[in-house]
């Protein structure tokens, strides 16, 4: 037994002493690490959102989180490591208020959540809607002398838009980016994109729009060559 204990403690004594010294130094460093506080602003995440509802806010909600922990840990902390989550399961049409508590904040070990601002968040839900709207081309430019625009068409002529019902129903059309028809004598096709001013309403199509501009020469006045 004595021989076995001697082997246990004395074999590789150098490595064992080195490991002991490292462990003591690490403990000493952690023990001396001062406690600090840090505030981070992070986006609020929504889990299990209802598939048939949209929330009517064009601003990504954020929370200010006040944290406490070892200074060395807070110095290396990234905002991506802090998660604020609200469970939307069971949400229904209308306004709903959700609490934001410390236990809803996911942070790395050794860090404590002291405060969450705001402590509550109100969300307004509307039904999800889709409808077709006309594409309205926007054309500018100077035509050659004696020419005028005969027609301007868009392909496709209509697009599907989706979003909260109240916002979708308020959309009159989807306008295109401006195309410059300067110098067009006859027909020209321009490739551009459609745009909706309401950030809560989305186009179902992301591919380009083709704007076809046809011009014709204006007839000369009688008696004028």
The pLDDT, as a whole number, for residue 60 is 80
The pLDDT, as a whole number, for residue 23 is 57
What tens digit of pLDDT does each residue of 1-54 get? Answer: 555 545 545 555 666 556 656 655 555 555 556 888 989 999 999 989 888 898
Mean pLDDT of 156-170: 95
Alpha-carbon Rg for the chain in angstroms: 33
The pLDDT, as a whole number, for residue 188 is 96
Output the 3-class SS for 131-166.
EEEEEEEEEECCCCCCEEEEEEEEECCEEEEEEEHH
**CA–CA gap between residue 96 and residue 90 (Å, rounded):** 11
- The verdict on 211 and 138 lying in the same domain is yes
Structural domain includes residue 63: yes
- The verdict on 148 and 85 lying in the same domain is no
Structural domain includes residue 21: no
Confidence of residue 225 (pLDDT cuts 50, 70, 90): very low
What tens digit of pLDDT does each residue of 182-203 get? Answer: 999 999 999 999 999 999 999 9
- The verdict on 41 and 100 lying in the same domain is yes
- The verdict on 185 and 210 lying in the same domain is yes
Structural domain includes residue 197: yes
H/E segment holding residue 23: helix 13-32
The whole-model pTM stands at 0.67
What tens digit of pLDDT does each residue of 51-92 get? Answer: 889 888 877 899 999 999 998 888 888 888 899 989 998 899
**CA–CA gap between residue 100 and residue 95 (Å, rounded):** 16
Report how many domains make up the chain.
2
Structural domain includes residue 65: yes
Asked if 73 and 111 count as a contact pair (C-beta separation under 8 A), the reply is yes
Mean pLDDT of 160-182: 95
**Domain end residue (candidates: 70, 86, 118):** 118
Asked if 129 and 162 count as a contact pair (C-beta separation under 8 A), the reply is yes
Structural domain includes residue 12: no
- The verdict on 93 and 132 lying in the same domain is no
Structure tokens at 24: 């003591």
What tens digit of pLDDT does each residue of 108-153 get? Answer: 888 999 999 999 999 999 999 999 999 999 999 999 999 999 999 9
- The verdict on 155 and 177 lying in the same domain is yes
Structural domain includes residue 224: no
**CA–CA gap between residue 160 and residue 202 (Å, rounded):** 9
**Domain end residue (candidates: 88, 118, 148):** 118
Asked if 212 and 149 count as a contact pair (C-beta separation under 8 A), the reply is no
> Residue 195 belongs to a domain with what CATH number?
2.170.120.40
| Helix/strand number for the chain, H first, E second | 4, 15
Confidence of residue 219 (pLDDT cuts 50, 70, 90): confident
Q: If DSSP codes are grouped into helix, strand and coil, which group holds residue 16? A: helix
The residue range of the domain holding 50 is: 34-118
Distances in whole angstroms, Cα of residue 89 to Cα of each of 36, 52, 98, 110, 125: 36, 12, 12, 30, 12
With vertex at residue 94, the alpha carbon angle to CA 126 and CA 105, rounded to the nearest 5 degrees, is 95
**Domain end residue (candidates: 84, 118, 152):** 118
Structural domain includes residue 223: no
Asked if 71 and 34 count as a contact pair (C-beta separation under 8 A), the reply is yes
**CA–CA gap between residue 11 and residue 13 (Å, rounded):** 5
- The verdict on 162 and 91 lying in the same domain is no
The pLDDT, as a whole number, for residue 18 is 62
């Amino acid at each position: 037994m004595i021989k076995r204990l001697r082997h246990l403690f004395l074999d590789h004594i150098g490595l064992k002493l080195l490991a002991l010294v490292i462990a003591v130094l690490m403990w000493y460093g952690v023990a001396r690490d001062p406690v600090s506080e840090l505030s981070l602003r992070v986006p609020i995440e929504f889990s299990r959102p209802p598939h048939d509802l949209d929330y009517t806010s064009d601003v990504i909600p954020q929370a200010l989180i006040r944290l406490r922990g070892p200074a060395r840990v807070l110095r290396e902390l990234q905002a991506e490591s802090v998660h604020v989550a609200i469970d939307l399961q069971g949400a229904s049409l209308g306004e709903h208020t959700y609490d934001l508590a410390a236990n809803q904040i996911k942070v790395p070990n050794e860090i404590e959540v002291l405060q969450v601002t705001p402590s509550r968040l109100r969300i307004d839900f509307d039904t999800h809607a889709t409808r077709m709207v006309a594409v309205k081309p926007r054309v500018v430019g100077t035509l050659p002398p004696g020419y005028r625009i005969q027609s301007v068409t868009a392909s496709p002529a209509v697009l599907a838009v989706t979003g909260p019902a109240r916002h979708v129903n308020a959309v009159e059309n989807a306008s295109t980016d401006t195309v410059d028809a300067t110098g067009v004598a006859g027909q020209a096709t321009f490739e551009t994109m459609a745009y909706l001013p309401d950030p809560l309403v989305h186009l179902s199509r992301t591919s380009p729009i083709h704007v076809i501009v046809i011009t014709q020469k204006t007839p000369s006045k009688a008696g004028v060559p």
